[in-house]
Chain A
Amino acid sequence: MSTLLQAENLEVHFPIKKGVFSRTVGYVYAVDGVDFHLNKGETLGIVGESGCGKTTAGMAVMGLTPATGGRIMFADRDLAAMRRYELKKLRSSMQLIFQDPYSSLNPRMTVNQIIADPMDVHGVYLGRERKDRLAFLLETVGLTPEQGRRYPHEFSGGQRQRIGIARALALDPSIIIGDEPVSALDVSIQAQIINLLLRLKREFDLSLMVISHDLAVVEYLCDRIIVMYVGKIIEEAKYADLYKTPLHPYTQALLSAAPVSDPLREKNRILLHGDVPSPINPPTGCRFHTRCPKRMDICDKVEPEFTEMGEGHRVACHLYTAESGV
């Protein structure tokens, strides 16, 4: 398996400005030193609760939000060292699908114009090729070429998400990042879009990154999953390992808290106290120590390193480090 994209010790800190002189009075440690990679042909999931830095991490690897630390590598090339034309090419090979199909499409453009826009920007599929390309893309996502002449408001939420996906496919990308791609959709429409993404991934040999707070959606879509908490990755595993043997107390709590649409399933709910801490003042040591049911003396003092717990399964928690292991 070849690595397409790699983030090393990635940091995105947003300055908090105050007063007339816009003094920086602190930082939002939105993404605070994370390592991850995306392999060719796989689907990587990023899960975690609101504000933990999922979107920011995704934007940073796309170069849409500047990283304030660490490196992002594409096939051994450093994003920061790339020249303008290289960046432009990279942008075309990496595309985003947004959560909100309502606000991500320009209401004054026809669907054809929306999908063609990236082709204009990059000067591809010009002249006679254009019409065929548009028809192909629309049919690929389950719309008809006739629908290309209509405006976004004439479509339902699920259809608008299809339009967004067609636009993302316009430049033959190799990577697609979906930020909550089905969260805004009706329950009966979510499966249509999930199945569409899975089919496109196969047909176009895509690598996907799926960002979502919905644990069931991520399990269904992804090969490998990263769990984030207040700007940090706390666990990473292949999907089945994560759901069958979650190791980090936060992952365990998260999975146990998710409501399951099966009234006969037995639930052992781990109830956490309090809210997710703010990334402006992240807790010392292990960031989960303020809510962790298994916290120990060391936990608020020393930040846990990753421990490898099996093939591709790593966890950052003192329960598994050599010194304090149980």
Chain B
Amino acid sequence: MKSEHLLEVLDLKTSFYTFEGVARAVNGVSYYLDKGETLGIVGESGCGKSVTASSVMRILPEPPGKIEGGTILFDNQDLTKLSQKQMRRIRGGRIAMIFQEPMTSLNPVFTIGNQISEMFILHKGMSRREAMEASADMLDRVQIPAPKARVHEYPHQLSGGMRQRAMIAMALACEPEILIADEPTTALDVTVQAQILDIMLKLKEDTGTAIQMITHDLGVIAETSNRIVVMYAGKVVEEAGTVELFTKTLHPYTRGLLASIPLLGSRSAGTQQSLSEIKGTVPSLFEIPSGCAFRQRCKHAMKICAEREPELEQVGSGHAVRCWLHIPQEKR
């Protein structure tokens, strides 16, 4: 199978089989990632961002999780069809992932240097000595002070910000084609977050790695991504270039989100006097309403919204939206 994109996810469906029933966490998600770009995936807690990422990486806990359908195209192969053995050659080397909690990928019983070296040995065939030197070099590139000494330290000897940087060093060690970053700075202080984002974007410039940046923070997304996918209840509801998404926002959910967050400096400047609210809450995966999943919270909900689910409609160059308001009459 061929795709013109670096990574193309088509109609991905991933569910969890739980006692309460089947949770359709990712319910037909499609998106693509091109060489060298930063794609932001934004959405509230539980909308399926992390499950999408674990499906692509094939690190889903199976069971209870299961990829039920769709294709994940990377380098002319469908990743959903690969064995775990085949995936191991891609994971870490060609597609790498970093997490909110660095200890998800760092092993507490090995030194930082050991763990980064492993990447070079596995994917680049370096000798142990070469790999250790390359590891120190990597720590230097993520601005960890005294990298030659730090390679011999264990994760617990580093501060939270340093662990995060060590994880980035490990992920980018082999200059992967894709870096999936799942809430990489959510647990960090703002000044450290700014450092880490800066390091990530600089390394990306050097290596040409494409980044899939997953976060619930619209500020982080606005500042790092050139294209954005907005998710709601397991689906993509809007997709556009960053400036377009913030200035020509179409989906009522995206509009609601943008109007409900306090914008730094705006009250002081007198440009934001009140916050509008989105009523209600995100539906649980077991009670997703019929039709449009957002309709119970939507100011514009119409009769058709309860009856049929809108498709993702292309409304402009690179801008797509899943909402009946933007689907022309003749297509209804």
Q: Which residues of A contact B (CB under 8 A)?
A: 49-50, 156-159, 186-192, 194-195, 213, 215-217, 219-220, 239-240, 242-244, 253-264, 267, 269, 271-276, 291
Contacts and interface: CB of A to CB of B under 8 A. Distances in A.
Given A49-B190, A275-B160, A186 B281 contact: yes
Given A188-B44, A216-B261, A271 B246 contact: no
Interface stretch (B59-67, B272-280, B319-327): B272-280
Interface of B: 44-45, 143, 145, 159-162, 189-195, 197-198, 216-223, 242-243, 246-247, 256-258, 260-269, 272, 274-279, 281-282
Contacts of A267: 223
A32 B162 CA distance: 26
A6 to B, nearest CB: 26
B263 A186 contact: no
A12 to B, nearest CB: 21
Contacts, number: 147
B195 A188 contact: no
A258 B189 CA distance: 9
A159 B280 CA distance: 10
Nearest to B225: A263
Contacts of A194: 262, 275
Main secondary structure on chain A at its contact with chain B? helix
Nearest 6 Cβ contacts at the A-B interface = A259-B219, A243-B268, A257-B194, A191-B260, A220-B262, A49-B189
B190 A257 contact: yes
Given A220-B267, A260-B219, A263-B243, A215 B277 contact: no
Contacts of B269: 243-244
A274 B276 CA distance: 38
Nearest to B278: A188
Given A244-B268, A258-B264, A264-B246, A192 B45 contact: no
Nearest to B260: A191
Contacts of B261: 187, 190-191, 216, 261
Contacts of A213: 189-190
Contact of B264 (A49, A156, A195, A216): A216
Nearest to A48: B189
7 contacts: A49-B192, A156-B282, A188-B282, A259-B194, A263-B222, A271-B198, A291-B191
A240 B268 contact: yes
Contacts of A242: 268
Contacts of A243: 264-265, 267-269
Contact of B275 (A220, A240, A255, A273): A220
B281 A159 contact: yes
A49 B243 contact: no
Given A275-B162, A276-B189, A260 B264 contact: yes
A191 B258 CA distance: 11
B257 A258 contact: no
Given A191-B262, A220-B267, 16 more contacts: A49-B190, A187-B44, A187-B257, A187-B260, A187-B261, A190-B261, A191-B278, A194-B262, A219-B262, A220-B272, A239-B267, A240-B267, A257-B190, A260-B222, A261-B258, A272-B195
